Amino acid sequence: MSKETVMWSERTMADRLKHLIANRAGKAWIPGALIFSFLLLMPATASDGWVLFKGQANGPVKSPDGNDLSLFAHKKYPGLYWSELYYHQMTFSDGSVMTAQLGFNAREASVVMAFAKAGAEPFTDYWVMDFDDVKFDGRGFGFSFGGNRVRLDGKKYQLDLETGKVKAKLVFDILSPGVTFGDGMVRYPDGKSFAYYSFPIPWAKVRGRATIQGREYDLEGFGNMNHDIQSLSPLYLPANWQAFWFFGEDHALMIADFYVNKKFGELLTQRLVFVDREGGMFSSTNFPVKWDQWAELKGSGFPYPRHYNLSAEGGGARLEAEVNNCEVILSKDLFSNLPAALRPVARQITRNGWTVDCWSGYTLTYRQQGKISTYQGLGMVRWTNEEAE
């Protein structure tokens, strides 16, 4: 099921699922711009046939000097199912959240974005044009299409958005250089499906202005950007997963895990990166997460946890986190726009039709070389797992 943004594009669900169901009978299908775009996560352990993140070693990571342009660089792979995205997650001091995804496939370049705040109606927008009209910079990193522009200048990364309902200029002051997991590559056991995942910007201060449906906003907070490329049939994209985005003045933590499609053995895959103000960096692809204190969305029958504990260790260091869900800002039945007759078929394809996003309190404890550091704050948690255990 699609996970483009914190909110859901109104165009996405019914049209894409109808298309997906109709094309299961052997028709060739080129995925559109909104296709299952939040595919952020893969592990360093593997079962039969997997080749995942060669060279990944869990634990402290030596922080590189400066930005690694190779993590930003556009990479177009051959194949029917090639897609690429630059995904930006931002949280602001006024309690609002913005996501912006700039994505490509062989046909399209697109922008999918959302802006939300607890207690307010969420806003989403979608904009698309031909991929052939994208202009990539000859030097350094940058590209543009329509009124949308991305560029990197030293430690400043600028994102300009211009769609039918949004005009925004955002500057990311990069606080931590990029990181990837091993060689960044994931190769599936079918021998033809693969993906590349990296974090060119794990942590940045974000500032700027946005005009959204005629209303102006001054924005200041934190965010990150991940760069994902894949060649994977939309029939096999995962739908059951959870993710945390925690940013503070002196730390950032991104955690996510999901189960791959049952065609590939329902392998649990995980990614974690933690950075601090002193330049420390810790990454892991193998860590337990436990959840409890279940709640149920009113009238839905859908359970979600309100409490998490996790721990990750390696290289003599250990990161622990306790997370309490505080306030739901989004709950969505992703099958609600489908005709009743199509819902059982859709559930067999995607396994899951609900998602819940929460502002959540957290406490992090990081231990390394006898030093103990503790961090607290509020961040975003997403839960889209229909299993209770």
- Cβ proximity of 304 and 292 under 8 Å: no
Q: Which two tokens stand for residue 37?
A: 């775009």
Beta bridge partner(s), residue 230? 83, 195
**232 φ, ψ to 5°?**
-150, 130
Over the chain (389 residues), what is each successive 10-residue block's mean pLDDT? 30 35 28 31 51 89 81 92 95 92 95 84 87 95 96 96 93 94 88 89 97 93 95 79 93 89 80 92 92 83 89 97 88 56 54 75 96 95 67
Question: Beta partners for 176?
Answer: 203
Please answer whether residues 359 and 226 qualify as being in contact, where contact means their C-beta atoms are separated by less than 8 angstroms: no
- Stretch (H or E) spanning 345: helix 343-350
Q: What is the pLDDT of residue 333?
A: 60
Please give the model's pTM, rounded to 2 decimal places.
0.83
pLDDT reported for residue 13: 34
Q: CA nearest 150: which of 51, 258, 223, 73?
A: 73
- Which of the 8 DSSP states describes residue 31? -
SS3 assignment, position 18: helix
Quick check: 88 and 208 in contact, CB under 8 A?
no
Kindly report the CA angle at 59 between 58 and 60, in degrees rounded to 5? 140
Q: Yes or no: say if 124 and 113 are a contact pair by the CB < 8 Å rule.
A: yes
CA 315, CA 312: separation in Å to the nearest integer? 11
Of 351, 355, 335, nearest to 343 by C-alpha is: 335
Q: In angstroms, rounded to a whole number, what is the distance separating the alpha carbons of residues 369 and 371?
A: 6
Q: Which residue's structure tokens are 């202009």? A: 135
Q: Is 181 within 8 Å of 271 (Cβ atoms)?
A: yes
User: Nearest to residue 224, comparing CAs of 362, 105, 380?
Assistant: 380
For the chain, give every domain's residue range: 12-383
221 beta partners: 92, 206
pLDDT for 51 equals: 83
Side-chain-side CA neighbours of residue 169 (13 Å)? 2
- Tell me how crowded residue 332 is: count the other CB atoms within 10 A of its CB: 18
DSSP state of 237: -
Looking at domain 12-383, does it have CATH number 2.40.30.20?
no
And the tokens for 14?
A: 């019914």
The pLDDT assigned to 45 comes to 41
Q: Which two tokens stand for residue 278?
A: 């002193």
Let me know if 300 is exposed, middle or buried by CB neighbors in 10 A (0-12, 13-18, 19+).
Answer: middle
Q: Is residue 14 classed as helix, strand or coil in its secondary structure?
A: helix
CB 35 within 8 A of CB 234: yes
Listed residue (194, 207, 174) closest to 68, CA to CA? 174
Give the type of residue at 327: E
The pLDDT assigned to 90 comes to 95
Query: How high is the pLDDT of residue 108?
Result: 95
C-beta neighbour count of 144 within 10 angstroms: 16
